[in-house]
């Protein structure tokens, strides 16, 4: 690690010099390491989060491939018997009241027993976007010899195939070959305006039945409203009451999200590569990836809007909101050329060309629900910028990708590795010293 951090690289962008940026990012990941995994933030998010750990592993591979392996393995150890990878793995050393919903709310080992929840550790009962197969493949590629010595892919592959099997069977609630999400926390873009219509049908839990711990460390102006939080609690409690059984549950919130399914398709491409490395058949994964791509275009593409939409499975309608989730499918290598062209045009247009940063806002700047500070209702996030950068590179848009990379590195350094930034002013918002921002900085510096 020392030689990497001390290497005298030329500055990679107009901001903090690359060596200093690298050292700062490595320090964030060191400070947020618990001994087995990395917390997103020591204050606001004191446990292990699912897609956070996948992004963290992608960055950690540049510092320590073995620690990147351990990051993913600690998450896989909490996988349920039905294949789901839970969105939070709770650290028993952290006080119960440090985060809500706490382990005592989810009660995974009891309420989720029939669905295959492990006896320990305690976890949440919902999921997050499936970035894990891509992360595992990139971690393997960082040091293939080390990976083979530790049989990393041999152990990860069955975990990842079970995870994808769960999403493609238990979660195909619309019958169209896409995975559905049953809680706004599952697609990772928690309070996006894309969920407002579906969430509006949910009766919120009474405010006196829970206490929000997030407001102890986050400014209320940045966080979801109390009304939305009450609805989140209601949905989670109803899912818990159904034993987290997707066959028995009748979720009031069920949508098909383009980002979630694009990551699932990219994960299938990664599993195809993994299968080949292990001497196994790759055709089933390639077929799945191709089918997911076709289904995304058939079910969620809106040519007039120039991006993918969310589909509300309770009404069957596409949601008339333009969020960053509709741009992330640019990741897919076999998109029709017309779709790639339209997505690039949308990215460069007034809705997503932020005035103060080259990052991508989480919601259309001209949209009726745009809010530059409140969580996923407008702020620009670093993980979605990384995904879109990868998509641009996939389709040969190297100049656009480089502009986004430069903007990412500039904002990461200027903001102190913030959770996200205000796209209008560039002001750092949310938590500072945020793990996936630091990890993905390391990746883009390479």
End-to-end CA distance of the chain: 14
Residue pair 194/228 in contact (Cβ under 8 Å)? The answer is: no
How many other CB atoms sit within 10 Å of the CB of residue 364?
23
Phi and psi of 48, rounded to 5°?
Answer: -100, 125
User: Nearest Cα to 135, choosing from 35, 45, 68, 42?
Assistant: 68
Residue pair 203/230 in contact (Cβ under 8 Å)? The answer is: no
164's CB contacts (< 8 A; 6+ apart) are 83, 130, 133, 264, 267, 268, 271, 288
190 annotated active-site: yes
Q: Which of 52, 186, 246, 419 is catalytic?
A: 419
Q: For residue 178, what is the enclosing H or E element?
A: none
Residues belonging to the chain: 446
Q: Which of 82, 122, 143, 190 is catalytic?
A: 190
Phi and psi of 32, rounded to 5°?
Answer: -95, 5
147's CB contacts (< 8 A; 6+ apart) are 65, 69, 139, 140, 153
- Determine the 3-state secondary structure of 87 from DSSP: coil
41's CB contacts (< 8 A; 6+ apart) are 32, 217, 419, 431, 433, 434, 435
419 annotated active-site: yes
Active-site positions read 190, 419
């Amino acid at each position: 690690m020392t030689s990497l951090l001390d290497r005298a690289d030329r500055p990679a962008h107009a901001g903090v010099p690359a060596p200093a940026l690298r050292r700062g990012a490595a320090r964030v990941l060191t400070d947020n390491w618990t001994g087995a995994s990395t917390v997103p933030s020591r204050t606001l998010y004191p446990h292990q989060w699912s897609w956070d750990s996948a992004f963290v592993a992608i960055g950690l591979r540049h510092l320590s491939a073995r620690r990147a392996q351990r990051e993913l393995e600690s998450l896989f150890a909490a996988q349920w018997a039905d294949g789901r990878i839970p969105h939070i793995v709770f650290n028993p050393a952290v006080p119960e009241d440090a985060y809500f919903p706490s382990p005592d709310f989810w009660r995974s080992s009891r309420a989720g027993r029939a669905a295959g929840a492990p006896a320990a550790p305690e976890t949440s009962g919902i999921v997050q976007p499936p970035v894990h197969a891509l992360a595992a493949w990139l971690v393997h590629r960082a040091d293939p010899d080390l990976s083979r010595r530790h049989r990393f892919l041999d152990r990860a592959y069955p975990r990842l195939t079970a995870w994808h099997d769960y999403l493609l069977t238990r979660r195909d609630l619309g019958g169209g070959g896409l995975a559905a999400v049953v809680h706004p926390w599952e697609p990772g873009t928690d309070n996006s305006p894309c969920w407002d219509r579906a969430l509006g049908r949910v009766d919120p839990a009474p405010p006196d039945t829970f206490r929000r711990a997030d407001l102890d460390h986050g400014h209320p102006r940045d966080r979801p409203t109390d009304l939305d939080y009450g609805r989140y609690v209601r949905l989670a409690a109803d899912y818990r009451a159904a034993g987290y059984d997707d066959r028995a549950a009748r979720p009031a919130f069920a949508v098909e999200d383009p980002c979630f399914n694009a990551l699932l398709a990219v994960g299938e491409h990664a599993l195809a590569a993994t299968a080949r490395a292990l001497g196994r058949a790759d055709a089933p994964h390639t077929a799945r990836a191709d089918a997911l791509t076709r289904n995304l275009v058939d079910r969620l593409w809106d040519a007039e809007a120039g991006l993918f939409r969310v589909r509300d499975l309770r009404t069957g309608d596409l949601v008339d909101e333009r969020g960053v989730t509709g741009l992330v499918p640019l990741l897919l290598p076999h998109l029709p050329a017309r779709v790639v062209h339209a997505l690039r045009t949308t990215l460069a247009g007034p809705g997503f060309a932020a005035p103060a940063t080259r990052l991508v806002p989480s919601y259309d700047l001209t949209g009726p629900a745009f809010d530059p500070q409140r969580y996923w209702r407008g702020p620009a996030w670093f993980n979605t910028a990384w995904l879109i950068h990868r998509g641009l590179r996939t389709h040969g848009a190297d100049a656009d990708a480089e502009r986004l990379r430069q903007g990412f590195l500039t904002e990461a350094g200027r903001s102190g590795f913030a959770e996200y930034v205000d796209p209008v002013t560039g002001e750092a918002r949310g938590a500072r010293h945020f793990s996936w921002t630091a990890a993905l900085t390391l990746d883009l510096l390479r």
